Copies of this chain bind each other. A is one copy, B any other.
């Protein structure tokens, strides 16, 4: 049946600059200074090493469940590094590397995953939201922040992270739609790591790309090689600049892969083939970026040891955290404690005084297995 085709027709672009063979498209290479490149590279190494350390801490029972980032360093750092401190960063639950870049102390992140609410506290004036556990629910917050920035006449940009699975949630749709209508400065960064726990992308959506979902909101969408830190940077740079210039939101799909477990409670051998992982290991964002840095003669000696030391010091500080005071659980619920909570707090205080209350459950910083190098027992 012949019909009119509506204009404009739609298209989605794919961006890759530094591929897994190390080939560089010099015309597209972003103009980053050696210092900027070194900082980015260091952050990627730190992201990887911290992740590995955290998995060990978790296995020793010193952290609760958390979501490792291995393989997604380029997606996170290529994008977050385009932000200014006055911009906002809205994470999901798998942005450790990006959060460290934004200034979250490592020991705070460890505390967070050790079950301390203190770990969720952003620094004074820090324009980062804490980790959001319910998938996609943080995306409308990003749009609201961007609206407020525009309302106040400030040029802050908001960058929001989410996964491929998150695109199925109603909140993701509503957030993108509001951002489109309000034309606010948000950059939506979808880390398409191919899996939502055990569910592969093809069971998540029938659309070929996530980038094309932008068409539903009259918003530019682009797909980038998410293991190519230069491509992610370039796409994010453009989107951030456009947002700051008042030209509205962008959806960036970073095609990447979660090389490790979904969370430390997950067993990926149940649902995915070893070969697939192997295949993606060939595309490791670190390998590629290391080759690039080597070629530019920007590799620093001893970087890994430096980074490991930084991590070790943070773990020490984490372990030195005093056991939590149960009474502070009431502290930040309301601006002022209402009477019924004053009563509940008093009752708990009485129980604590009388020894009737259980030991504060501080299993976290306390090593459960044999102490490791650079680790000491919790001070009490």
Contact = CB atoms under 8 A, between A and B. Distances in A.
A305 interface: no
A82 to B, nearest CB: 15
User: Within the oligomer, what is the number of copies of this chain?
Assistant: 2
A174 B9 CA distance: 25
Among A10, A169, A170, A173, the most chain B Cβ lie within 10 Å of the Cβ of A173
A183 interface: yes
Interface in A1-36: 1-6, 9-16, 27-28
B9 A13 contact: no
A215 B14 CA distance: 17
Contacts of A120: none
B10 A215 contact: yes
A206 B222 contact: no
Among A27, A177, A217, the most chain B Cβ lie within 10 Å of the Cβ of A177
A180 interface: yes
Interface string A332-346: 000000000000000
A14 B9 CA distance: 12
Question: Would you call the interface of chain A mostly helix, strand, loop, or mixed?
Answer: mixed
B205 A212 contact: no
Contacts of A174: 168-170, 173
Contact of A203 (B10, B181, B213, B223): B181
B234 A206 contact: no
Given A170-B169, A180-B206, A238 B12 contact: no
Contacts of A213: 215-216
A5 B1 contact: no
A181 B205 CA distance: 5
Interface of A: 1-6, 9-16, 27-28, 168-174, 177, 180-181, 183, 203-209, 211-213, 215-219, 222-223, 234, 238
Given A2-B27, A205-B217, A207-B217, 17 more contacts: A2-B28, A3-B13, A3-B15, A5-B11, A6-B11, A6-B12, A6-B14, A6-B209, A9-B9, A10-B215, A168-B177, A169-B170, A170-B170, A177-B205, A206-B218, A206-B219, A215-B215
Those 8 A-B pairs whose CB atoms lie nearest each other, nearest first: A170-B170, A180-B206, A206-B218, A173-B173, A10-B10, A3-B13, A216-B216, A213-B216
7 contacts: A6-B208, A6-B209, A169-B170, A170-B171, A180-B205, A205-B216, A207-B217
